[in-house]
Amino acid sequence: MTLNKCRLRVRQRIKSKSEQNTGSEIRGASEGNANGFMRHMPPNQKKTGRTTAAPLEVILAGSSSKAASPTILVDEGVYRAYFERSMDAMLLMASGGRILAVNSAACELFGRTEMEIAQASCRGLLGGSSVSLKKLLAKHARSRNVRGELEFLRGDGSQFPGEIIAVHCQGASNEALSVVVIREITDRRRAEKEAAKAVKQWECAMQGTLLAISNMVEHSDPYTAGHQRRVGIIAADIARELGWPNCRCNELRNVGLVHDIGKMAIPTDLLVKATPLTIQEIEIIKTHALKGYEILKDVAFPYPIAEIVYQHHERIDGSGYPRGLKGDEILPEARILAVADSLEAMATDRPYRASLGLEMALNEIERGRGTAYDPDPVDACLRLFRENGYKMPD
Ligand SMILES: [Fe+2]
């Protein structure tokens, strides 16, 4: 039989059945089947005989039934089969938390019978979750869908993490219902933990590598011993003061560790020269920003470390080097690093001069606010030292 012929027959049956039922009251309350579902067709549907989008009132089996109308089963059967045969555990819940229907996958997942699940109600299915399923559904009652993760309790007392996806709908009498799909996520949680552990190990390895590079640089330039590490710490703390997320602050700390890596390509004689540098020598030292970029550019870091190193001597008014970038052309990380680098350099001894002292160094940074340096990191830096009691890292 073709689908159209089948539909025609169904319509004819619907018409005949709806004529018989006109004026009758809801009859579904005593109708059911062996699968735990009972149903009725609401009066307005009976009048029209429409079967599409027929609202279902589904309650737990408990009373015997006569055969349900085949005209209704045509449409309801699809939804019912989906519910019953779904590989995902599914529950039908009333707004008060009462469980109205359970599929076989739910029985398998919870290790309980249909009746045991119904009697447990939603509270009895939960393990050590802080949020109850009922509260979760109530909180999102106005949303069409609810997603969440909860701890559930099996019949044998063991717990398992589950993801829920709930869809709110209305029953035949306009009562609020929720169809709740529950998927066990034990394997996913384990995989997430392993992935997080692997990321942590990778981050530690990367930081160790950067630290090793930093130590190498400082071997060739003993006067900058600790400079890169301190610059990284100050830059990260300025970023934190600016409200950057922790992971980005940590990235900046790592960039600080190697920001002068290009000095490895500069003759040590120049780096440790105690007398004033000539203009030519200064130009040679200035190449360390580009050299640093060239050393790092082919390493696939998760953030643009080579570019930040390249830009750490740029100034927002375009007076910096090597490219004379201005304002937003300079990465925010490089703008913070510029403040931290300058401050640390001025506040500590250099081969060719003694430290200016912290207060004078801070005054110099303040003097460059809005011209050499981005005002935001300058303000954050001054707040840290002058208002928050921040100390120069050792
Ligand atoms: Fe530098």
> Does 237 share its domain with 326?
yes
Report how far residue 390's alpha carbon sits from residue 241's, in angstroms, rounded to the nearest whole number: 11
Ligand 1 centroid to Cα of residue 141, in Å, is 57
What is the CA(315)–ligand 1 centre distance, in A?
Answer: 13
Task: Classify residue 12: in a domain, yes or no.
Answer: no
Question: Within this chain, do residues 220 and 139 fall inside the same structural domain, yes or no?
Answer: no
Q: How far is the CA of 206 from the centre of ligand 1 (A)?
A: 21
**Separation in Å, CA 278 to CA 44, 283, 289, 324, 340:** 96, 9, 19, 21, 26
For residue 365, what pLDDT is reported? 97
- Domain shared by 301 and 355, yes or no: yes
CA nearest neighbour of 271 among 214, 313, 224, 226: 224
CA of 247 to the centre of ligand 1 (A): 23
Mark whether 236 and 338 lie in a shared domain.
yes
pTM of the predicted protein model: 0.61
User: Do 195 and 176 belong together in one domain?
Assistant: no
| Ligand 1 center to 313 CA (angstroms) | 6
**If you count them, how many residues does the chain have?**
394
Which of 131, 150, 184 is the last residue in one of the domains? Answer: 184
Same domain, 217 and 138: no
Same domain? For 64 and 176 the reply is yes
- Listed in sequence order, the DSSP H helices in the chain are 3-21, 43-48, 70-85, 104-110, 114-124, 133-139, 186-220, 227-241, 246-258, 268-271, 279-286, 288-296, 305-311, 332-347, 358-367, 375-382
- Structural domain that includes position 84: 55-184
Listing DSSP states for 141-206 in one string gives: TTSSEEEEEEEEE-TTS-EEEEEEEEEEEE-TTS-EEEEEEEEE-HHHHHHHHHHHHHHHHHHHHH
Can you give the pLDDT at residue 13?
Answer: 39
Q: Of the residues 138, 154, 184, which one is the last residue of a structural domain? A: 184
238 with 322, same domain: the answer is yes
Amino acid letter, residue 249: C
State whether 231 and 372 are in the same domain: yes
From ligand 1's centre to the CA of 259, what distance in Å?
6
Cα 118 to ligand 1 centre (Å): 69
Question: What's the average pLDDT block by block, 10 residues per block, for the chain (394 residues)?
Answer: 37 40 32 36 36 40 44 67 91 86 94 89 72 67 78 90 88 85 95 94 87 81 79 97 96 93 89 87 95 92 93 97 97 98 90 82 97 98 96 91
Please give the distance, rounded to the nearest whole angstrom, from the Cα atom of residue 289 to the centre of ligand 1: 6
Report how far ligand 1's centroid is from the alpha carbon of 283 (Å): 13
Instruction: Determine, yes or no, domain membership for 210.
Output: yes
Q: Are residues 147 and 230 in the same domain?
A: no
Gap from CA of 56 to ligand 1 centroid (Å):
72
Tokens of 53: 């989008």
Centroid of ligand 1 to alpha carbon of 312 (angstroms): 7
Q: Is 276 exposed, middle or buried (0-12, 13-18, 19+ CB in 10 A)?
A: exposed
Same domain, 195 and 163: no
Residue 44: inside a domain: no
Instruction: Work out how many domains the chain is built from and give that number.
Output: 2
Instruction: Tell how far the Cα of 351 is from the centroid of ligand 1, in angstroms.
Output: 15
Specify whether 216 is located in the same domain as 355. yes
